[in-house]
């Protein structure tokens, strides 16, 4: 049985927009994810306004969830008893249209034109439709929607209908709908659990053109209020009615339109939720938010959205000449990364953002390791909020550590509210590296911002709690080395290993940073009970950390004895047997040399100072041959290190894979929501890969080099109150300071001062010629970014064999 080909791309290539020029009913769910709008608090999938047809309905509020049991065939001590699942909340996107009594449904009548556009500068999703009913009445429908980046509780819609030929009778029903029916999502354990009717009605009120519904969850004890109000314009004679029921609120507008007339409905939608506040308080909250939105007005919301995004792009934009698909994709990724975190405000950033229910809406280590670096250098306030959320859940992490017999804090592998929700121990609890990933994100944020208030209020406690975990989890052996045994690193095809290099290096950084931050903030450290002896023990453990090295092969084993394992037999693995985790038992994967996602290679990216250039080259070549990329997280890391070791064309290939993960639906599960970490990877591959950007201890370094398929790269970033722009060609790099005080930078090892005048420096030749391009496992090569005469990249015949997952079954 052969693997079906990945469908061809359905979106027009444009540098600032995602265009869908015609409706693809078989790809609705993918487009609903791609066209999702969010602000980190509210998330609305890009469903059609009329509600049907749909791939997967979706309206989400950050951290609004329901509980579900986690069944075990054989329970064990320390296993979490309950899971948390994001739920589809009250849907306010719906506008049902009747044209002379015929419901507007794209599956009936005749669809003359259907176009949608996600505008990443305006922050809006627009739709233009021309449709004839089965009775041959032709109308034009134009819609615009936004989720406000400036008013946290608000989304807004403009819905316009006009006749194309003769007069028509029009009825528009603007609705709030709770407990929508959801489709069966299949038996794939990676998809979200489906919860039927999770909301219980507490109140429904209609008044004029306003409706408010209040619900609560059955198990998690959360309360939700959703409200809508309208501004309506059109012919002089209009009929407007409002009504409400337990799960439906409706404002109905009826009009007769002559040619040249138009019915226009502006809908303001507000949400509020809480685990503590009363029903009247939430009701009043959404009414107040609606009043504020109406005061701002539709045009005011559009203007606020554009100004906000103009400011964001001034310190975040990336320009790519030579690869138009990647140009579109990197902005698409930045836009969705911003949407995921901009108004999260001390709540999590899920792995899918608020674009779909994949992975139950959980947050993983993906956030700190892949998403927060992008936000740290483009919109640092959102990175601070995400880490503040981790700090708020610290008591739960400390309780979990005590349950495991450890000190400090053991943060959950997957969660919504801070409790561990992974029922699979080897890839969940044993993946202790998440604690160091959180610490690394704190270190990076403090380095990039010099935010002393954050350091004292949040940073010290997070670094101290995670350092205490490592000191209690590891031990000094008879040779004096500090070992961390029985853990799982980033590669989930190896579990419960000793001295995973990534984990040990990240723990080492965590321990040293905790000792340093305690010394800088002695009063906070004293409050936390940190003694001089304890801080010294952290430094001792860090200095004695065991970092395995295979002298025979001249490479770092991913973990102790990894290079002594039998190699996976790729010649006997069929293309349709990927991802391996769905076709082979874990015990077989765990005892073989086969890598799901970059692990040792990720260590070389994040802890590059621990490796020599020659070690990086040898390690990279070794792990390329056994890494199957059954995870969407992997390609970006391989792109960064491929660029660093001189494999520029291979890095470009990996860049294409991570950047186009959702626009081309490479993993075939974009329907469940976007892969935020993979989208972040486009930025990482370009800025950290081809830009060679590294930052540590107040030093911002660049080592830019471009592949043959990219003629120019320019990127903007923020660092320590500065706004910088770096422009790279094959021959030189130009550095500009757009805002802030002069700064010392490094270009290919050469320090220079950047002030008011741009600095141009040549790109030096590589110190040594790169090694031959390393091979990948058969059939797992990334699609080449070769181009046709028009400059459009050609698709690889092997890309149809690529199937990915992001995390193992939970």
Q: What is the largest CA-CA distance in the chain?
A: 90
pLDDT, tens digit, 9 for 90 and up, residues 630-683: 999 999 999 999 999 999 999 999 999 999 999 999 999 999 999 999 999 999
Whether 481 and 752 have beta carbons less than 8 Å apart is answered as no
User: CA-to-CA distance for 719 and 454, rounded, in angstroms?
Assistant: 16
For every residue of 621-643, DSSP letters joined together read HHHHTTB---BTTHHHHHHHHHH
Residue keyed to tokens 């579109």: 328
Per-residue model confidence (pLDDT) at position 76: 86
Q: At what angle do helices 380-392 and 460-473 cross, to 10 degrees?
A: 60
Is 683 part of any known ligand binding site? no
Does the domain at 35-68+81-180+195-308 match CATH 1.10.150.20? Answer given as: no
CB 325 within 8 Å of CB 793:
yes
Read off φ and ψ for residue 554, nearest 5 degrees.
Answer: 70, 30
Please check whether residue 702 is in contact with residue 692, taking contact to mean a CB–CB distance below 8 angstroms.
yes
| Confidence at residue 4, expressed as pLDDT on a 0 to 100 scale | 44
Question: Rounded to an integer, what distance in angstroms lies between the CA atom of residue 346 and that of residue 457?
Answer: 14
pLDDT tens readout for residues 319-341: 999 999 999 999 999 999 999 99
In the Cβ-directed half-sphere of 100, how many Cα atoms lie within 13 Å? 16
Q: Are 4 and 19 in contact (CB under 8 A)?
A: no
| DSSP SS3 for 2 | coil
Inter-residue contact 783 to 326 (CB < 8 Å): no
Task: Quote the CA–CA distance of 705 and 712 in Å, as a whole number.
Answer: 10
The stretch 29-39 carries a mean pLDDT of: 98
What is the chain's alpha carbon radius of gyration, rounded to the nearest angstrom? 27
Alpha-helical runs (H) found in 685-809: none
CB 264 within 8 A of CB 160: yes
- Going by C-alpha positions, the residue among 265, 238, 61, 272 that lies closest to residue 157 is 265
CB-based contact 273:64 (threshold 8 Å): yes
Residue among 338, 357, 502 nearest 434 (CA): 502
DSSP 9-36: P-SB--SSEEEE-S--GGGHHHHHHHT-
Tokens of 671: 């329907």
Quote the pLDDT of residue 7.
67
- pLDDT tens digits, residue range 791-800? 455 544 333 3
Q: pLDDT grade, residue 189 (50/70/90)?
A: very low
As a whole number, mean pLDDT of residues 761-770 equals: 92
Q: Which helix (H) or strand (E) holds 536?
A: helix 532-543
Distances (CA, A) of 193 to 74, 83, 180, 357, 677: 21, 10, 15, 8, 21
Confirm if 62 and 337 have CB atoms less than 8 A apart.
no
With a cut of 90, say whether residue 425 has pLDDT above it: no
Q: What single-letter DSSP state applies at residue 81?
A: -
The two structure tokens encoding residue 720:
């320590």
Structure tokens at 551: 């002298």
Q: What is the 3-state secondary structure (H, E, C) of 114-153?
A: EEEEEECCCCEEEEEEEEECCCCCEEEEEEEEEECCCCCC
On whether 365 is known to bind a ligand per the annotation, the reply is yes
Confidence of residue 613 (pLDDT cuts 50, 70, 90): very high
pLDDT at 100 over 50: yes
- Rounded alpha-carbon distances, angstroms, from residue 135 to 95, 160, 162, 659: 21, 21, 16, 45
What's the mean pLDDT in 529-546? 98
pLDDT tens for residues 715-741? 999 999 999 999 999 999 999 999 999
Tell me: domain 393-546, CATH 1.50.10.10, correct?
A: yes
pLDDT value of position 176: 98
The confidence band for 773, taking pLDDT boundaries of 50, 70 and 90, is very high
Nearest to 41 by CA among 289, 377, 300: 289
What is the C-alpha to C-alpha distance for residues 396 and 389, in angstroms, rounded to an integer?
A: 12
What local confidence, expressed as pLDDT, does residue 74 receive?
81
Distance, CA of 782 to CA of 321 (rounded, Å): 21
Query: Residue 74: helix, strand or coil by DSSP?
Result: coil
597, 22 contact by CB (below 8 A): no
The kind and range of the H/E element at 319 are strand 318-321
Residues contacting residue 193 through CB under 8 Å, at least 6 positions apart:
68, 83, 85, 360
Q: Are 686 and 330 in contact (CB under 8 A)?
A: yes
Neighbouring-strand partners of residue 702: 747
Q: What percent of the chain has pLDDT over 70?
A: 95
Q: Are 35 and 46 in contact (CB under 8 A)?
A: yes
Residue with tokens 């685990």, as numbered in its chain: 275
Determine which one of 160, 175, 325, 492 is catalytic. 492
Is 662 in contact with 33 (CB distance < 8 Å)?
yes
Which one has a higher pLDDT value, 101 or 794?
101
Residue 145 to residue 468: CA distance in whole angstroms: 48
Enter the tokens of residue 640: 């960064």
Q: Binding site annotation covers 597?
A: yes
Instruction: Give the span between the Cα atoms of 176 and 92, in whole angstroms.
Output: 5
CA pair distance 440, 427, nearest whole angstrom: 20
Distance (Å, whole) CA 253 – CA 640: 55
pLDDT digits (tens, 9 = 90+) for 206-252: 999 999 999 999 999 999 999 999 999 999 999 999 999 999 999 99
Task: Give the per-residue pLDDT at 72.
Answer: 81
Residues facing residue 227 across a β-bridge:
212, 270
User: Is the pLDDT score of 565 beyond 50?
Assistant: yes
Q: Quick one: pLDDT band at residue 133, thresholds 50, 70, 90?
A: very high
Which residues, 6 or more positions from 699, have their beta carbon under 8 angstroms from its beta carbon?
744, 746
CA gap 804, 187 in Å, rounded: 16
Local confidence band at 506 (pLDDT 50, 70, 90 cut-offs): very high
Whether residue 450 is predicted with pLDDT greater than 70 in this model: the reply is yes
446: Cβ–Cβ under 8 A, 6 or more apart, which residues?
A: 454, 455, 459
Rounded (to 5) percent helix, strand, coil in the chain: 30, 25, 40
DSSP-H helix ranges across 393-500? 394-403, 433-449, 452-454, 460-473
- Neighbouring residues of 571: CB distance < 8 A, sequence distance ≥ 6: 778
* Cβ-based neighbour number of residue 766 at 10 Å: 11
Assess whether 644 carries a catalytic annotation: no
CA neighbor of 421 nearest in space, from 68, 784, 789, 781: 68
Average per-residue pLDDT for the chain: 94
pLDDT band at 82 (very low <50, low <70, confident <90, very high): confident
Whether the link from the prior residue into 227 is cis, omega within 30° of 0, is: no
Residues 6+ apart with CB under 8 A from 396: 412, 418, 419
Helix or strand or coil: residue 154? Answer: strand
Residue 716 CA to residue 737 CA, distance in Å, equals 10
Distance of alpha carbon 704 from alpha carbon 688, whole angstroms: 9
Distance CA 345, CA 389 (A): 8
Give CA–CA dist 688/641, Å, rounded. 9
Task: Give phi and psi for 150, each to the nearest 5.
Answer: -115, -25
């Amino acid at each position: 049985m052969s693997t079906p080909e990945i469908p061809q791309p359905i979106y027009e290539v444009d540098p600032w927009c995602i265009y869908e020029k015609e409706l693809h009913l078989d790809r609705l769910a993918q487009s609903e994810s791609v066209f999702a709008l969010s602000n980190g608090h509210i998330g609305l999938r890009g469903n059609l306004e009329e509600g049907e047809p749909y791939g997967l309905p979706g309206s989400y509020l950050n951290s609004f969830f329901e509980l579900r049991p986690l069944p075990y065939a054989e329970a064990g001590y320390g296993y979490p008893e309950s899971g948390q699942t994001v739920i589809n909340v009250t849907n306010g996107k719906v506008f049902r249209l009747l044209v002379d009594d015929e419901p507007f449904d794209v599956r009936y009548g005749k669809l003359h034109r259907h176009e949608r556009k996600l505008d990443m500068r305006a922050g809006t999703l627009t739709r233009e439709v021309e449709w004839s009913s089965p009775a041959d009445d032709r109308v034009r429908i134009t819609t615009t929607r936004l989720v406000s980046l400036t008013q946290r509780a608000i989304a807004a819609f403009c819905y316009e209908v006009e006749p194309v030929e003769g007069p028509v009778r029009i009825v528009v029903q603007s609705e709030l709908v709770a407990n929508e029916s959801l489709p069966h999502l299949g038996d794939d354990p990676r998809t979200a659990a489906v919860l039927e009717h999770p909301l219980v009605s507490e109140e429904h009120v209609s008044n004029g053109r306003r409706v408010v519904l209040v619900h609560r969850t059955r198990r998690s004890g959360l309360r939700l209020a959703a409200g809508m109000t309208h501004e309506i314009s059109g012919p002089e004679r209009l009929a407007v009615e409002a009504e409400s029921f337990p799960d439906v609120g409706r404002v109905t507008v009826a009009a007769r339109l002559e040619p040249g007339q138009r019915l226009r409905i502006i809908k303001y939608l507000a949400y509020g939720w809480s685990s503590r506040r009363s029903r009247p308080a939430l009701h009043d909250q959404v009414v107040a938010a609606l009043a504020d939105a109406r005061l701002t007005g539709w045009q005011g919301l559009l203007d606020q959205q554009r100004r906000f995004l103009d400011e964001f792009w001034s310190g975040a934009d990336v320009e790519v000449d030579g690869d138009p698909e990647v140009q579109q994709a990197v902005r698409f990724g930045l836009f969705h990364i911003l949407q995921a975190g901009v108004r999260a405000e001390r709540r999590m950033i899920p792995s899918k953002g608020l674009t779909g229910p994949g992975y139950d809406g959980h947050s993983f280590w993906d956030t700190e390791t892949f998403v927060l670096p992008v936000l740290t250098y483009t919109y640092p306030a959102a990175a601070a909020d995400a880490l503040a959320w981790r700090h708020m859940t610290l008591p739960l992490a400390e309780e979990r550590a005590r349950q495991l017999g450890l000190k400090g804090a053991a943060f959950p592998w997957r969660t919504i509210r801070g409790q561990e929700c992974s029922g699979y121990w080897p890839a969940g609890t044993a993946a202790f590296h998440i604690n160091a990933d959180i610490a690394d994100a704190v270190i990076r944020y403090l380095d990039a911002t010099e935010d002393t208030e954050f350091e004292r209020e949040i940073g010290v406690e997070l670094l101290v709690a995670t350092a205490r975990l490592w000191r209690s989890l590891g031990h000094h052996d008879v040779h004096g080395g500090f070992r961390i045994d029985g853990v799982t690193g980033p590669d989930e095809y190896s579990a419960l290993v000793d001295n995973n290099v990534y984990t040990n290096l990240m723990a080492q950084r965590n321990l040293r940073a905790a000792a340093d931050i305690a010394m800088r903030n002695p009063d906070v450290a004293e409050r936390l009970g940190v003694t001089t002896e304890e801080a010294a023990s952290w430094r001792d453990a860090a200095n004695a950390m065991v970092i395995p090295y295979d002298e025979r092969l001249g490479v770092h084993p991913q973990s102790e004895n990894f290079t002594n394992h039998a190699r996976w037999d790729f010649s006997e693995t069929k293309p349709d047997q990927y991802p391996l985790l769905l076709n082979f038992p874990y015990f077989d994967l765990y005892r073989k040399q086969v890598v799901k996602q970059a692990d040792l290679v990720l260590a070389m990216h994040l802890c590059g100072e621990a490796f020599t250039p020659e070690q990086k080259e040898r390690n990279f070549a070794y792990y390329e041959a056994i890494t199957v990329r059954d995870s969407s997280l992997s390609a970006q890391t391989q792109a960064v290190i491929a660029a660093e070791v001189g494999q520029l064309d291979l890095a470009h290939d990996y860049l294409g894979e991570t950047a186009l993960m959702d626009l081309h639906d490479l993993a075939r599960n974009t329907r469940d929501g976007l892969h935020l970490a993979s989208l972040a990877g486009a930025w990482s591959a370009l800025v950290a890969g081809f830009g060679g950007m590294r930052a540590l201890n107040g030093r911002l370094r660049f080592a830019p080099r471009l592949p043959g398929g990219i003629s120019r790269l320019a990127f903007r970033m923020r660092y320590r109150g500065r706004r910088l722009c770096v422009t790279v060609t094959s021959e030189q790099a130009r550095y500009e300071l757009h805002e802030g005080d002069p700064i010392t930078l490094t270009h290919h090892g050469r320090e220079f001062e950047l002030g008011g005048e741009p600095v141009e420096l040549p790109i030096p030749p590589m110190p040594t010629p790169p090694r031959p391009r390393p091979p990948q496992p058969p059939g797992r090569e990334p699609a080449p970014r070769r181009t046709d005469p028009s400059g459009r990249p050609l698709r690889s015949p092997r890309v149809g064999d690529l199937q990915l997952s992001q995390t193992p079954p939970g």
